[in-house]
Structure 1
Amino acid sequence: MTGQRAARIRQALEAALAPATVAVVDDSARHAGHAGNPDGAGETHYTVHAVSPRFAGQGRVARQRLVHDALAAEFATGLHALTLKLETPEESGASAGARG
């Protein structure tokens, strides 16, 4: 994870979600010239994988709203797009077991 925005995203999600884990990857280079990153400057497109007990009992859209609410200041200052994988600790353990 590099860049100031990635660090701010991580901090905001840690404060809002108290996640067991959170990973933030800057995918901006893959979107150079696209909407939200026309000049290829970066720090606009991210993939986030968060595992948090706050997601328990919530559907996909509710989980995404929690993340988008936590990152409202980033969206207001140039964050354009997120790819999200949001799981509870139980879901994360089940998917890890299925992979291994």
Structure 2
Amino acid sequence: MENRTVTQALREMLREQLCCVGRVAARHQLPDDAVWDVVKGFEVIYRRACQQVERSAGGSGGDSSPRRGGPHPGLAGLLDRLRREEAVAAPDEAGSLAGVGGEPTCG
């Protein structure tokens, strides 16, 4: 499997995990700091996996109340970074990670 394909699969998996966390956080009104901890942990795991993919191919491989009514800022921030990364990796496929209207499909 190509690096790009593996990295895209990792990105899609992370997106689905973030959507799942977002649903659980909203339903159970998880504390803001708990959601941030999960998001940061997922990002570390994702970056490590991407570095492993690069190394395997010979590349070189770095307010406490919850906000309701929209995605958690930690989730939204990481989703935005993934979207920008995808646009840089494949400008012709930049929209492939977004849902209708450019928003992630987390429903």
TM-score normalised to structure 2 length: 0.28
Flag the structure with larger Rg.
Answer: 2
Give the number of the structure whose residues are more often helix, by fraction: 2
